[in-house]
């Protein structure tokens, strides 16, 4: 029965019912033909001229009457059986067939288990362990940072420039351009990010304490004039903002303060390599070659806890950023322009995937990885490393060539002299 129901659940139910109807007609026709032939072959009919003389017609009727009654009973039973079967099949087909899962509503059926991921889905799952996507934009902003020693650095920034906000420092960003301003922010934590806003702190502090700390005219009564908004002020500015503001200035702090938190990455020195180049905003143990302002930024990164190293990587068409790993940093990359391929090797296996504008890639500390440009334009990424120390990098060509030839010969089952072909 299970095979039969399985057949009905297919789309050719109408064909099966048509075949069943033709089978009924064929059986009816065959049954009548066989019975008629049996009557003609009956010896009683062959001898009716002698046996039923004088009243043959009446006797024939009497003889044939029981036979016709049996035939009718047989045919009625056969037809009833076939019709009931057809109706039952039709009912089952309507219940189990229909147009898909919607025909089973109201039935207490077990939920289907989700299908196991195929090879392509597994590769996507591996890919998105290290890939995300963000949109891009441009703009300009006014930035402020208040350091632990209460010194305030305010400055204007535009596309391609870097701002460093030390841990536990008060800071702000205000869009002063004519278009949306997108900041790509990297945070030196793998835990859930915690943020405390100024208005939250203010309204969470007792009124008398705030009054004694700020010493405003009017004392605590003035502090009571502040009304806590229903929603965060940072996200929902007052509707009458223009009426509240009377003298808006965007001052620029002295350079020696600004360069503790600001770096012009786009205008910095370029470090070329075959097929591409790097620009760095980072700490260097050896400050030789850095300008006076670049030295301030380098030292500032190293003096603060959990800082970051930033870099702009540019790869020309079909160029390769050779496989390497960083022993002292995780790496996060944002694709600014172009497209390419990224890959990394972790203890669980290798993962290769394509990257495009707006994608974010993640390379865990100590994992070998590479980047390759595959478009007809340069592949440009902004890279962030989770270290305030000088970034350490070990490349495949360095540690492969640094390994003794006889060790490589045993490892790869190749002649030791073959490894002399590697320059």
Spans of all domains in the chain:
2-104, 125-131+257-416, 140-254
Contact predicate 368/303, CB 8 Å:
no
Q: Which residues pair with 352 in a beta bridge?
A: 343
Q: Please count the residues of the chain.
A: 423
Least confident piece of the model among 44-48, 223-227, 418-422: 44-48
CA distance linking residue 146 with residue 153, whole number of Å:
6
Tens digit of pLDDT for each residue in 119-168? Answer: 444 444 454 455 555 455 567 899 999 988 889 999 999 888 899 999 98
Q: For 225, which DSSP code?
A: T
Contact predicate 311/393, CB 8 Å:
no
Main-chain phi, psi angles of 241, to 5 degrees: -60, -40
Work out the average pLDDT over 180-199.
89
Residue 91 confidence (pLDDT): 58
Tokens of 136: 């891009």
CA distance linking residue 400 with residue 396, whole number of Å:
6
- Confidence category of residue 40, pLDDT binned at 50, 70, 90: very low
Q: How far is CA 407 from CA 397, 403, 410, 422, 423, in A?
A: 16, 7, 5, 15, 17
Work out the mean pLDDT of the chain and round it to a whole number: 78
Q: Residue for token digits 């702190």?
A: 201
CA distance linking residue 173 with residue 197, whole number of Å:
13
Residue 115 confidence (pLDDT): 45
Contact predicate 264/157, CB 8 Å:
no
pLDDT above 90 covers what percent of the chain? 50
Q: At what angle do helices 56-96 and 13-41 cross, to 10 degrees?
A: 170
Tokens of 414: 């190749």
CA distance linking residue 10 with residue 186, whole number of Å:
55
* Pairing label, strands 368-373, 340-346: antiparallel
Q: How far is CA 84 from CA 7, 20, 29, 47, 93, in A?
A: 19, 12, 19, 43, 14
CATH architecture for residues 125-131+257-416: Sandwich (2.60)
Q: For 318, which DSSP code?
A: T
Give the helix ranges, DSSP H, for 141-235.
198-204, 207-214, 219-223
> Is the pLDDT at 9 greater than 70, yes or no?
no
CA distance linking residue 144 with residue 164, whole number of Å:
10
- Confidence category of residue 237, pLDDT binned at 50, 70, 90: confident
pTM (global) more than 0.85: no
- Confidence category of residue 272, pLDDT binned at 50, 70, 90: very high
Handedness of CA 236, 240, 244, 246 (dihedral sign): positive
Tens digit of pLDDT for each residue in 330-383? Answer: 999 999 999 999 999 988 889 999 999 999 999 999 999 999 999 999 999 999
């Amino acid at each position: 029965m299970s095979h039969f129901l399985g057949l009905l659940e297919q789309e050719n139910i109408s064909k099966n019912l048509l075949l069943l109807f033709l089978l009924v007609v064929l059986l009816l026709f065959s049954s009548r033909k066989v019975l008629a032939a049996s009557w003609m072959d009956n010896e009683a009919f062959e001898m009716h001229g002698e046996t039923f003389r004088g009243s043959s017609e009446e006797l024939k009727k009497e003889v044939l009457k029981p036979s016709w009654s049996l035939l009718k009973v047989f045919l009625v039973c056969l037809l009833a059986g076939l019709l009931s079967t057809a109706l039952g099949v039709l009912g089952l087909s309507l219940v189990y067939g229909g147009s898909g899962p919607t025909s089973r509503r109201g039935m207490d059926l077990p939920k289907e288990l989700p299908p196991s991921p195929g090879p392509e889905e597994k590769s996507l799952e591996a890919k998105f362990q290290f890939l995300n996507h963000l949109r891009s934009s441009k703009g300009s902003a006014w930035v402020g940072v208040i350091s632990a020693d209460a010194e305030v650095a305010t400055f204007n920034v535009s596309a391609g420039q870097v701002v460093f906000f030390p841990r536990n420092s008060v800071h702000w960003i205000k869009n002063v351009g004519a278009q949306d301003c997108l900041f790509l922010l990297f945070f030196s934590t793998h835990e859930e990010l915690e943020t405390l806003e100024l208005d939250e702190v203010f309204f969470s502090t007792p009124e008398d304490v705030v009054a004694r700390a700020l010493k405003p005219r009017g004392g605590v009564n003035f502090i009571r004039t502040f009304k806590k908004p229903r929603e965060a002020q940072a996200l929902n500015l007052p509707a009458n903002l223009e009426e509240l503001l009377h003298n808006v200035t965007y001052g620029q702090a002295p350079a020696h303060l600004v360069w503790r938190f600001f770096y012009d990455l786009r205008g910095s020195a370029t470090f070329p390599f075959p097929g591409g180049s790097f620009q760095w905003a980072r700490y260097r143990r050896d400050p030789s070659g850095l300008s006076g302002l670049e030295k301030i930024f380098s030292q500032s990164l190293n003096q603060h806890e959990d800082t970051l190293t930033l870099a702009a990587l540019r790869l020309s068409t079909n160029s390769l950023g050779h496989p390497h790993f960083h022993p002292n940093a995780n790496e996060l990359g944002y694709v600014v322009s172009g497209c390419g391929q990224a890959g990394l090797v972790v203890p669980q296996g290798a993962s290769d995937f394509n990257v495009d504008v707006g994608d974010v890639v993640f390379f865990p500390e100590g994992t070998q990885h590479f980047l390759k440009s595959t478009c007809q334009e340069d592949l440009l990424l902004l890279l962030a490393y989770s270290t305030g120390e000088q970034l350490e990098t070990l490349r495949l060509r360095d540690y492969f060539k640094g390994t003794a030839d006889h060790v490589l010969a045993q490892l790869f089952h190749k002649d030791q002299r073959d490894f002399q072909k590697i320059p």
